[in-house]
Structure 1
Amino acid sequence: MKLNTLRWKLLKSYIYSGLFSSILVFLCLQAWYVFNPGSSELSISILVPLLTAFFVIITGGYFGYKDTQSIKDRLEDISTYIKVLSRGKLSERIEINEEDELGNIMKDLNQLAEKIKKQVSSLQTLADQKAQLAEKARGAAIIAERQRLARDLHDAVSQQLFALNMLSSAAIRLVDRDVETAKEQIKEVAEIASKAQAEMRALLLHLRPIHLSDDTLCSGVTKLAEELAKKSGVTFINELEEIPGLSKGIEENLFRVIQEGIGNALRHADATTIKIALYEKNDRVHLQIRDNGKGFDISNEKKGSYGLGTMQERCNEVGGEMTITSKENEGTFLDIRIPIK
């Protein structure tokens, strides 16, 4: 029988309680006989159970509280540690002071945290390998990308330019004969031009390289924002922190998520200001993208239409978490957290 189990500890508590109660009752009876030598049997028969009950309650309460408080404190430590792990702090370990059932649970939790940490590291290694393979395949992908861009330009922009030409020509012919109709057509011209501008803003992102080359993540994002600010007129607010030791896979995936997030804001949100924040806190990389656009109802939109599925996949590849918050007419907020230690 193991003597370091919870069952044995509680059993010892009962034994100690009974032992101390018996000793105290015995001492009290001896004192009673000394000071009251002529006591009757009736008084003794009443005194013994009263003393026994009193001392059992006192000693039992003391030892019970002492042992259960220790168990309660250790259970709270386990609960706190589980919350720490759920926040992504996989390097933390819980201290094991006793080798009992709770100690075994703590040991299992430490082993589980180590396994999860290794799995996250493996995911990030796979992401690095994927980035290397993608670099090797980039040459072949350039041709396919050009063909896709040509289709996008034809489908999204050239047709709108054709409509602009037709409507503007008709408006010129009508301006002298039917001013009101000409005004309506000019309004349509303005709307189509605005849509074409939004499409071109989004295509600007895809005309850029999809990799960082020799740039750091902060440098690549800064260059991207500066170029798009000049070409699109959107104001970018960058709060970027250089994070040393980021793997190539994490940098590539974060950069592509940023491209996708900015593309959504330009194409769908009609945003005029986009804020990008990148920093490290509590052994995690935090990426946040916020715009002041028209927003959307997440529950009513298909993820694919806004590229959310692609961003979620890239986040999962490096063991991260993604949260997106958006309301109509209140803008959109994207928050990504990736463990790095």
Structure 2
Amino acid sequence: MMMKVLKSTKWELLFYFLLTGVLTAGILYAGNSTDYIVVSDPRVWIYYVAGIVVFTVVIGYIAGQRIQRRLDLLHLSMLQVAKGNLSVRIPETTDMTFAGIYGEFNRMTDAVEKKMHLLQVLGEQEVTNKEQAAEKAVLEERRRLARDLHDTVSQQLFAVHMAASSLPKILENRPEQGGKVMDQLIQMSNTAQKQMRALIAQLRPMELVDKSLSQALDQWFPDYCRQNGLKGIIDLDLKGQLSEAIEHQLFLIIQEAMANIVKHSGAKLVSLALQESKRQVVLSVSDDGQGFSSSVQKQGSYGLSTMRERAEKLGGTAEIISKPGAGTTVRIHIPKFEDVRKGEES
């Protein structure tokens, strides 16, 4: 829609120039018909008309192109800001018409960058607070698991041990009872195994403990792909300047995206790319699966809502690009504010 408006502006301006030339030629023709303007040679009249039309078309096209370039610059800057590149600023211009518009755009972008910076700081603080609360919850969960192990598995194993210890004497004195004791041993061992599996299923490994995001992904991503029959390609370009909160959220987003691929896509190949530049971090997770049509995508499907919420906490954006039969790409943009922080500290 925006490009249509820009194109129509250029061609509308060219139309007005052409209309001006035609009207000028019409006035000359009317003046010649009423003898106010005398042109002795009809061929000269044709040259006049053609020259006026061509001249106005050329001037109109040049003027349209100049205005088009200024509008294109504004449009491109808006697109970059919308994608999360908040460092974009439009240079000053001597054109007073566009100088005011460019200035307002730069002031608006400054305000948005400051707000996104504040949002990111608040998001990081929220994540940090949640991490502290999570640590307390982990300690409490460990205590609970210890009680559960004592009350369930430990007692079952003790019962198995007692039954197994008494089995030789039972087989010696009352062989007919031996079969019943064996059945009890099998049943108790199965029960203990189920209880142990249930407790293990409640545990979640802390992949980022004492590790950077790069180290965690280098270990976790290949293992996850191998366990789920996927061929994985990983490309990391991190400078090591991300906060723990951002690394934590990015890791959770990657886990969510990979889980969705395993559950829904039927993919064989997965590509993970994480690039850190001076002003933003871009995460891309792509697969060669069945994809889907965005027009029929259900709200909240493929975990997009969760990933978007995690990205927005840090002032970022999340999008999914997919077509039926063409795979799916999850793309996350997180802005960085190093320059803003340095400016505030100084």
Give the TM-score category using the shorter length: 0.5 to 0.7
- Tell me the residue number matched to 2:185: none
Select which of 66, 71, 78 maps to 2:74.
78
Structure 2: gaps (5+ residues): 1-35, 39-47, 146-197, 338-346
Residue 260 of structure 2 is aligned to residue 264 of structure 1: yes
Select which of 113, 118, 122 maps to 2:114.
118
Instruction: Output one character per residue of 1:105-150: Cα deviation in whole Å (capped at 9) or x when no partner.
Output: 221111011111112212221221122102211134337989xx9x
Select which of 204, 209, 214 maps to 1:207.
204
Select which of 268, 273, 276 maps to 2:272.
276
1:228 maps to a residue whose letter is Y
2:129 aligned counterpart, secondary structure = helix
- Tell me the residue number matched to 1:338: 334
1:303 maps to a residue whose letter is G
Q: Give the % identical residues.
A: 31
2:232 aligned counterpart, secondary structure = strand
Instruction: Output one character per residue of 1:215-242: Cα deviation in whole Å (capped at 9) or x when no partner.
Output: 2211111221233245444332211112
1:207 aligned counterpart, secondary structure = coil
Relative to structure 1, the CA distance from residue 326 to residue 103 in structure 2 (aligned partners, 3 Å threshold; closer, same or farther) is closer
- Tell me the residue number matched to 1:241: 237
Q: Alpha carbon RMSD of aligned pairs, Å? A: 4.8
Cα distance in 2 for partners of 1:241, 1:134 equals 28
Residue 316 of structure 2 is aligned to residue 320 of structure 1: yes
Q: TM-score, normalised by structure 1?
A: 0.56
Relative to structure 1, the CA distance from residue 69 to residue 303 in structure 2 (aligned partners, 3 Å threshold; closer, same or farther) is closer
After TM superposition, the structure 1 = structure 2 runs for residues 1-341 of structure 1, keeping only pairs within 5 Å, are 74-98=70-94, 100-142=96-138, 207-209=204-206, 212-229=208-225, 231-280=227-276, 283-298=279-294, 299-304=296-301, 306-328=302-324, 330-341=326-337
Relative to structure 1, the CA distance from residue 213 to residue 130 in structure 2 (aligned partners, 3 Å threshold; closer, same or farther) is farther
User: Shift in Å at residue 67 of structure 1?
Assistant: 8.4
- Tell me the residue number matched to 2:151: none
Structure 1: gaps (5+ residues): 1-44, 48-53, 150-199
Relative to structure 1, the CA distance from residue 73 to residue 257 in structure 2 (aligned partners, 3 Å threshold; closer, same or farther) is closer
Instruction: Output one character per residue of 1:141-169: Cα deviation in whole Å (capped at 9) or x when no partner.
Output: 337989xx9xxxxxxxxxxxxxxxxxxxx
Instruction: Output one character per residue of 1:49-92: Cα deviation in whole Å (capped at 9) or x when no partner.
Output: xxxxx9xx9xxx89999988866654454344334433433223
Cα distance in 2 for partners of 1:265, 1:216 equals 24
Instruction: Output one character per residue of 1:171-192: Cα deviation in whole Å (capped at 9) or x when no partner.
Output: xxxxxxxxxxxxxxxxxxxxxx
1:104 maps to a residue whose letter is G
Q: Is the 8 A contact 2:278 2:336 kept in 1?
A: no
| Segments ≥4 residues shifted beyond 6 Å | 61-70, 143-146
Number of equivalences = 251
Cα distance in 2 for partners of 1:300, 1:243 equals 36
Cα distance in 1 for partners of 2:233, 2:306 equals 24
